[in-house]
Structures are given as C-alpha cells and as structure tokens.
Structure 1
Amino acid sequence: MNYETQVTADSAVVIDDEDARARKRRLLLVAAVVIVALVGGAVWISTRGGGAAAPAVTAQVPVVTVNSPGQSTVARTVTATGSLAARIDMPVGVVGEGGMVTRVLVQPGDWVRAGQVLAVIERSVQAQQVNSLAAQVDVARADAKLAQAQLDRAKALVGRGFISAADIDQRTATRDAAVARVNVAVAQLAEQRARTGRLDIRAPANGLVLTRAVEPGQIVGSGSGVLFRMAKDGEMELLAQVAEGDLATLRPGNSAIVTPVGGNDQFAGRVWQVSPVVDPQTRQGIARIALPYQPAIRPGGFASVTITSGSGNAPLLPESAVQSDPKGNYVYIVNAKNEVERRNVTVGQVSEAGVAVTSGITGNEKIVTSAGAFLTPGQKVKPERLKAS
C-alpha cells in the first residue's frame, strides 16, 4: 500500500516539471516573435522615411549659411616695411679754408632758402687781405690814369714834331700795361672776396635742416665732415623692403599709403623708383616711395606701406569663410548633394571689404560663410542663402 502511494506521487512530480518546461518554451518563442516584429518595423520606418522618427532624423542635419559672391573688382596690393629718409639728403660742410666758427644761425627743423648763411667763420685776416688788394686796385688805376694822360699829351705834340712816332708807341704800350695791371688787381681782389665769402657755410638749396653738428668756437676745415644735413624742399621718402616676387609687379607712379610706427596717421605717396637689383641674401629689393613733408614723418624712423600695384577680378569672401590649417587656406562648399567639400584656395588682398581669393574657386559655388570650423568633408548639411544686408 505504501509502495503504490509513493509511485503515484513521483509520477505527479514528473508531469509538473514537463508542463513548466513547455510553458517556458512558449514564452521564449513569443518573446522572439515580438523582438523580430519590432526590429522589422524599425527597419521599415527608417527605409520608408515615414512615421514619427523622420522629423528627428531631419532635425539632426545642420543648417549652414552659404553665398555665391561671383567676381568683384579688387585692388592688387603689396605690403612692406622700411625706413624713412630724406628723398634728397644734402650734406653741408666747409667749402673754403675754414677757421673758427663765430655764429650758428639755424637749428634742426628750420626751413632755409638757397644761399642762406647757416654758420659764420671768423675772417679778420681775410678781411685785411681784401683791404690790401682793394688798395692795390686803386694804385693800378692811378698808374693807368697817368699813363693815359701822358699818351694824350704826346699825341697832341706829335703833329708839331716834338714827339716821334716811336715815342707814341712807347707811351701806348705803357698805358696798355697799366690797364692790364688794373685788371689783374681787380681779379685778385675778386678772388680774395670770393675766398672770404666761402667762409660762410650756406644752404645749397631750399629745404629743411635735419641735423646740426657745429657750435660757436669750434675749429672747422675741409676735413671736418658734415656740419649740417638738409632735406631738399623738405621732401621725404620710404625705402620699402619688397619681396622679389612683389617687386616685379611694381612700377613708378603706383600709389601707396604709408603708416609711420607709433601712430595711426596715414600719408599718401607714390613710388618714384623701383630697385633694378635684388639683394642675394634677403631676396628683397627697394621700392622708393616719395612723400611730401609732414611733421610725423621723421628720417630714420620705421613705417609700413601698402602699395596698390593694379586691380583685377576675384571672388570676395568674408573672413569667416576662409579657414586655414597646416595644409594651407581653404573654404567649404556645398555640392549638389548638399554635402560639404573642401576646396583649397589662394588668398590675395585682405581689406575691410573682405578677403580676395585669387585661385581655387570661381565665385559661383555655394560657399559656406560661417561655422566652417565645425564641419567635416562629406557631411550632410542644409544650405541657406546669405540674406543681403
């Protein structure tokens, strides 16, 4: 009896385990079917572009501002730096014998006329020499006057037979010699006066006194060097150091804007000479830019210059559109598929109007004008035209 009861109980346990395993298999099968259905629905929605997920995908595409600038007329310019100097620098020194300076009549910054006395040298000895020669002129003239009177009296007596023709010739020669001595004395006097006048240090032309290197009491002579420096007519120039490639584009007459260091003042000038040679060490040449006198333009100072060497047509972009990296300058354009493409460009003149691009684009492309730093080539974007301001 007990044996039968135990068998029946064990059979019930076996049946219950088989039912549990069957239910578990059914639950797993149902879960797998549900997962497959969900995955298939998601794939169908994504491929069809419908349903509620489509707006979310569209919202992730960035909107970028694009512009097609076309071609604009832009000035071709060359920038350089250099030193300021007098356009015609005139050194003034001792012309005559020299001596002790008694007076200096000008200061740096003074305007002077051609021939104006800048400094006076002591001349007491030369003055006495002039007086001596002047007296000799008077003596020679008196001798010439006496010789002329004697000749005139001899000619009056020759008709009476008291004076021979030979005497007349002799007296005529005496008179001519006396006149010649007068001329020699006059020439010697003029020479001494000229020598004395050369003791004055004079301005060779109209201009501006730049420097002074002489004081009263100083002994000067022909070896004293430069006592004054002048700028003829006050004209200045900039000796601009220009790169070899840019030098070939410059011509005399090109306009230029010069900005001296230490200020914001700008002065208009013109190229008046382009160096025919290039320094083999620096690969640079000199462009000389003529400038009118301005108090802010000081010889020896430093300045920058922008020279307009011509004009041409090029796309003009805002500075935000042009990017740069170790490979060079570039812009992003949006192609027909609304994908971003990198385009390498060469940058020309940069001005307040924008950046001129000399090569790489035509200006008819859809060029990204902002936010280019956040884009990558091949990225999908939504282009939006730049609104005219």
Structure 2
Amino acid sequence: MSMNAQQPVPSPAAAEVYNFPPAEGDAPSKRNRWLKPGLIALAIALAGAAAWQAFGPAAAPPAAPASNLPEVTVLVPGTTMLADAITAPGSIAAKRDAAVGVQGEGGRVVRVMVEPGQRVGAGQVLAQIDRQVQTQEIAQLSASVRQAEAEARLAQANLARAESLVAKGFISRADIDQRLATRDGAQARVGVARAQLGAARERADRLDVRAPAAGLILSRNVETGQVVGPGTGALFRLAEGNALEMRAQVAEQDLARLKVGMSAVVTPVGATEGFKGKVWLIDPVIDPANRQGIVRIQLEYTPGLRVGAFARARIEGGETTRPLLPQSAVLADANGNFVYVLGKDNKVERRSIEVGAISDAGVGVASGLTGAERVVASAGAFLKPGDTIKPVLAAPATR
C-alpha cells in the first residue's frame, strides 16, 4: 500500500503520446470531426461525374492501333511506253452493198443460178425469167427485117435498071425520081425493122437478172416459180468487189487520235483469230445520244467474216507513254472504270480513269493518273473510300 501511494499520476500529455482512446464523454477526435464533410464532397463529385457522362459530349472512339489495320499491297505505276491502241465494238457489213432486182417487165422465175457466199463476175446471170412471149416477138421482128431487106434490094434493082434506060429515052426523069424514092423508103423500113428487133432483144435480155459488178452474193431473196416485177424489191444483195468493212463505234475523245490508213485487227464474237484491215473512212458525224462516231475498217472477205456479225476492233495508233496497271487494280461499276489510290493518312480514295490499251502486260490508263500515285494493286473489292489501311509497297515490275 505504501508503494502504490508513492507512484506519481500520469499527465494528459503522456496520454497523447501513448495514443490512448478517449474516455466516454470526451470531445470527438480531429479525424471524426472531418469525416462527414468529406463524405458529402465525395457524393457531390460522383453525382457531377455521372451527369457529365450522361449529358456531356460523346467522347471520340479511340483510334485503332496501327497493328490492327489491314495490310494492302500498293504500287506506284510510273509511266511505260505502250502501243497507243483503241478498242471499239461494232458490226461487220458490206463496204458497197448493192441491191439487185428486176430491170425489165418481169415474169415467172424459171431458174436461180447462184447462192449466198458465191463470188460472181460483172454481168453474170443470177436468175432467169420466163421469156417465151419475148422469143416469139423476136422471131416475128426478125422476119420483118428480112422482108424489109428484100424490098429494099428490089427497089435498088429497079432503080439501077431505070437509070440504064433513061439515057436511051425509054424512061423519063420523073420515073427515075419515083424509083429513087421507093428505094429510099425501102431502106428506111429496113432500119425501122432492125431497131424494133433490137429493142425486143434488149427487153428479152433484161429478163435476166445480172450482177451489176463483180462481188460476193450476200443474200438471195427469190425462188424458182416466183413471179417478180419492178416492184418486187431486191432479189439479191451483192458486196461489190468482195470488200467488207467493220463499222466500229468509237468514243468522241478517241476520234481525234485516229487517221485514215491506220492498221486494225477485227475479231468477230466467238472467233479465236483476228482479221487484218485498215481504216478507210471516219464518219464526220457524231451521234448526239451516245457521243460516238463511226470508224469504217476495210476487210477482205474471208469465210470467217459474216455480214451482220458483232465484232471488236483494235486500232493501232502508234506508241505513247502512259501508266500501266495490273488488271486486278482496275475496277468498274455503273459510273465507269476506277482505281483506289492512297491519300492523306493512308486513307483510300476513289479515282476515275479512262482505260486505254489492254494487253497481257496490263491495262494502260489513258487519263486519270499521272503514274506517281500509290494505287491499290488488289483487294479493291473489299475496300471503300475513307478506309485506312497499312500499305505494303510492291516491288517494281521488270519491263
């Protein structure tokens, strides 16, 4: 007891050092005093953040990492010396299409002597028309000619005898004049009879349907037994000189590059080989509906060429320097041919082009590219304007 009584009582400062909990009834600590205001401030901040997320501007989506962009092969085509060729569609026709019909009175056809595809000479008989009536008329007129000639000879003999007797005074001069007039009249009748006979023979000859010139029979529109006349129409169609042509439809902008005499190759639909020809005429009129003109390419007849057939012509126009692209880079839709090029930030852009010569080496670009652009080499069907890609530059082609 005496020992406890002698121990000193701890002071309040010592309680703070040892961090003893306050006794009941003491004042709240400093931490408890700031706890409630802190919770209120935190609640206000959370409410403000929720309101900003709900009503504030939408945040831009994060950009795709470069590693996620599709890799697409692109190329810089540059320029290449290419054959300046123009390809155009068209149809094959006769260069000079002659319609052959009845020249004379007409009648019943008794014989057709040619078939389509056969070559004929100038004046060759193509068909014969019945001429029995004309034959009888010719025989009658031939007899009239012989009769007139006999009368003329008799008149000439009478005149000669009279002239031998006039000097002896047996015949007067008036008788001589009368016999002279009789002789002249008989000779005139001979001329009339001969002219009538010639006209009859000409009418009979006109019953033969003849070729006006050498050429190729394109069509036959008459059969044996058919009655024909001047109003029947063409019995045959003839390509004069065996010459055909292709009437190629060429765009207005390409006509200025063409000249008469340029070489061309015409390939009919379904044919495996082309036929050589030359431009012989460029029509001076352009169709206002489709802005195209007609270029006529002369061709020599070959069994593989058929009048009316559809064909495609390749007209050689020398050489020119143009960009050359692989066929996989050139796309087409309702608006025409186009390619995809890379713009700023490797974004895909559509570029319309005009296609020039097409060959195994690629597609020549007549307009729309300079050759310095980065062009999508393939996979264009899977892209659209505005897409961002990761370009992979293709190795330059060896030319």
- Name the TM-score class by shorter chain: 0.7 to 0.9
1:65–1:384: 8 Å Cα contact kept in structure 2? yes
| 2:304 aligns with one of 296, 316, 320 | 296
Once the two structures are superposed, what CA deviation does each residue of 1:247-300 show, in whole Å capped at 9, x if it has no partner? 343332232221212222311222222222223333333222221101121112
Given the alignment of the two structures, is residue 386 of structure 1 paired with residue 396 of structure 2, yes or no?
yes
Kindly tell me: are residues 154 and 289 of structure 1, through their superposed partners in 2, closer, same or farther at Cα, counting changes over 3 Å? same
| 2:178 aligns with one of 161, 170, 187 | 170
Given the alignment of the two structures, is residue 72 of structure 1 paired with residue 77 of structure 2, yes or no?
no
1:186 counterpart residue number = 194
Q: Percent identity?
A: 48
Shift of 1:138: 0.4
Root-mean-square deviation over aligned CA pairs: 4.0
Kindly tell me: are residues 157 and 322 of structure 1, through their superposed partners in 2, closer, same or farther at Cα, counting changes over 3 Å? same
Shift of 1:244: 2.9
In 2, Cα distance between the equivalents of 1:377 and 1:216? Answer: 73
1:206 counterpart residue number = 214
Given the alignment of the two structures, is residue 227 of structure 1 paired with residue 222 of structure 2, yes or no?
no
1:139 counterpart residue number = 147
In 1, Cα distance between the equivalents of 2:80 and 2:151? Answer: 93
Kindly tell me: are residues 215 and 177 of structure 1, through their superposed partners in 2, closer, same or farther at Cα, counting changes over 3 Å? same
In 2, Cα distance between the equivalents of 1:301 and 1:328? Answer: 27
In 2, Cα distance between the equivalents of 1:284 and 1:332? Answer: 30
Classify the secondary structure of the residue corresponding to 2:111: strand
Kindly tell me: are residues 328 and 232 of structure 1, through their superposed partners in 2, closer, same or farther at Cα, counting changes over 3 Å? closer
| 1:349 aligns with one of 356, 376, 382 | 356
One-letter amino acid of the counterpart of residue 247, structure 2 = L
One-letter amino acid of the counterpart of residue 81, structure 2 = S
1:74–1:356: 8 Å Cα contact kept in structure 2? no
- The total of aligned residue pairs comes to 336
The TM-score, its normalising length taken from structure 1, stands at: 0.72
Aligned positions of 1:193-272 closer than 5 A: 193-272=201-280
The TM-score, its normalising length taken from structure 2, stands at: 0.70
Shift of 1:242: 2.6
Unaligned runs of 5+ in 1: 2-10, 15-56
Shift of 1:110: 1.9
Once the two structures are superposed, what CA deviation does each residue of 1:164-200 show, in whole Å capped at 9, x if it has no partner? 3332222222211111111111111011011011111
One-letter amino acid of the counterpart of residue 174, structure 1 = T
1:84–1:238: 8 Å Cα contact kept in structure 2? yes
1:128 counterpart residue number = 136
Kindly tell me: are residues 133 and 76 of structure 1, through their superposed partners in 2, closer, same or farther at Cα, counting changes over 3 Å? same
Kindly tell me: are residues 129 and 359 of structure 1, through their superposed partners in 2, closer, same or farther at Cα, counting changes over 3 Å? closer
In 2, Cα distance between the equivalents of 1:84 and 1:128? Answer: 47
Unaligned runs of 5+ in 2: 2-16, 21-65
2:31 counterpart residue number = none
In 1, Cα distance between the equivalents of 2:397 and 2:270? Answer: 40
Greater Rg over alpha carbons, structure:
2
Shift of 1:313: 2.4
1:40 counterpart residue number = none
Kindly tell me: are residues 388 and 247 of structure 1, through their superposed partners in 2, closer, same or farther at Cα, counting changes over 3 Å? closer
Kindly tell me: are residues 383 and 297 of structure 1, through their superposed partners in 2, closer, same or farther at Cα, counting changes over 3 Å? closer
In 2, Cα distance between the equivalents of 1:341 and 1:224? Answer: 66
Shift of 1:134: 0.3
1:82 counterpart residue number = 90
Kindly tell me: are residues 187 and 360 of structure 1, through their superposed partners in 2, closer, same or farther at Cα, counting changes over 3 Å? closer
Kindly tell me: are residues 244 and 345 of structure 1, through their superposed partners in 2, closer, same or farther at Cα, counting changes over 3 Å? closer
In 1, Cα distance between the equivalents of 2:203 and 2:161? Answer: 41
